[in-house]
Amino acid sequence: MKLSVYLGENLAGHLTSTAQNGVVFSYDPAYIEAGLPPLSLSLPLSTNEYPQKKCLPFFEGLLPEGDVKKRISDYLHVSETSTLKLLKELGGECAGMVSILPEGEQNKIQSTYTFSPENYETLSQKNLVEYIRNIDARPLLKAKEKLRLSLAGAQEKLPLAYKNGKFYMPKNGAPSTHIVKPTGQGTLSTLSANEYICMKLAEQSGLQVPNTKLIQIEDVEFLLIERYDRLCKGNEISRLHQEDACQALGILSNNKYQNDGGPSIADIYTLIKTQTTIPLLETRAFLQYLLFNFIIGNCDAHGKNYSLIFQDNSVKLTPMYDTVCTLAYPNLTQKLSMKIGKHYEIQKVNQADFEMLGNQIGLKPKTILDTFNGLVEKIDNAFEIIKNDPILKKHSDILETIQHKLIRTI
């Protein structure tokens, strides 16, 4: 099987499954000649073919994970491990600007799309709610409607467009502008409210976050998150390229936790320091994200929950996303995705661990402590503001739990 990989309108190269060497990737000579951006920091422009070990982390990293991947694979009658077959079915619109099509299929992707009925079809609230209700039984509205969309992560998501209070399904290769994340079930039924609260706390604390709404239609609750990898100017929408830290470091999604071979804080810090355009700003932002996640008790801030965005020859850290107080759920692990100093157990992290972290990333322990204390104060103040948010009236329990779980001292 051979697939064509596009970055926006441009053919970047081909992904091929070979009998002897598994999956290989080669850049298209014209793409290299034109000096266009590499697909990934782990795949610099080269005339050499990239072997499976080098290229799979980026491409496999575009696919959903866990149960979502399993359900989609079952639905499509494709093996979960067959990255190429899954990309063939789902790769039409991935995170950022990447789209993957069977070789020979015409690439419809344009650099800019007008927000018009030709490109965006109205999605009624009734249909949206019906889709979310059946999301587990029928994982792919995408497959059914011949839409081919893929986002990483273990939770079901629906990329769509949203403007002036109305929902739309993109058509003809037009970009989605928002991500719908339905809330969890059972003990995780407060997950959307939890993520919403954490995003608002981050925003109020001065961190960069995408615009996020918590919406309830009938009995269905979901988050509506604006995509930071889209550029909307008036009625014109275009895509921006992004990749997560695991992809940039050449690490498979399966290994995203440090304990499973995933990146450490120092690995991501070094990536940001060496690859972003203004390292001083971006490393500072990363430290804030990291400490914010620690303070609010998010044990799931792994290497796929920090990403880089590429725009006009500049490389930046993306806004924060997927920030949840996992400590609110006693059945979830209390082990951090990336250890701080010597400790994975969030409750055991102490001053010596922060000092060790400082030494690892080349920051004075005082800088880390001052940032930590400053954030605790901002988050405490943020709670007072968020408590008045009318949408959280019925979520006072989870709000209180998150406030109670805050790690204010180390």
Question: Residue numbers of the site for ligand ATP (CB under 6 A)?
Answer: 65, 95, 151-155, 179, 210, 225, 227-229, 244, 300, 304-305, 307, 321-322
Instruction: Choose, by CB under 5 A, the member of 61, 139, 153, 175 that binds Mg ion.
Output: 153
Q: Identify which of residues 147 and 179 has a Cβ nearer to ligand ATP in the complex.
A: 179
User: Minimal distance in Å, beta carbon 396 to ligand ATP?
Assistant: 24
C-alpha–C-alpha distance, residues 199 and 196, integer Å:
5
CB 190 within 8 A of CB 183: yes
Stretch that binds Mg ion, among 27-35, 105-113, 148-156, 219-227 (CB under 5 A): 148-156
Q: Identify which of residues 132 and 179 has a Cβ nearer to ligand ATP in the complex.
A: 179
Pick from ligand ATP, Mg ion, none: which does 85 bind, CB < 5 to 8 A by kind?
none
Query: Which string of b and e fits 271-296 if b means at least 16 CB within 10 Å?
Result: bbbeebeeeeebbebbbbbbbbbbbb
User: Minimal distance in Å, beta carbon 304 to ligand ATP?
Assistant: 5
Neighbours of 114 (CB within 10 A): 13
User: Minimal distance in Å, beta carbon 156 to Mg ion?
Assistant: 12
Pick from Mg ion, ligand ATP, none: which does 63 bind, CB < 5 to 8 A by kind?
none
Give the residue at shortest CB distance from ligand ATP: 153
- Sign, CA dihedral 49-54-55-56, equals positive
Outline where DSSP puts E strands in 51-202. 98-102, 112-114, 120-123, 158-163, 166-170, 178-182
CB 308 within 8 A of CB 316: yes
Q: Identify which of residues 12 and 68 has a Cβ nearer to Mg ion in the complex.
A: 68
User: Minimal distance in Å, beta carbon 229 to ligand ATP?
Assistant: 4
Instruction: Choose, by CB under 5 A, the member of 119, 305, 326, 401 that binds Mg ion.
Output: 305
Neighbours of 400 (CB within 10 A): 13
Neighbours of 219 (CB within 10 A): 7
Residue with tokens 């809330």: 183
- Positions in the binding site for Mg ion (CB under 5 A): 153, 305, 322
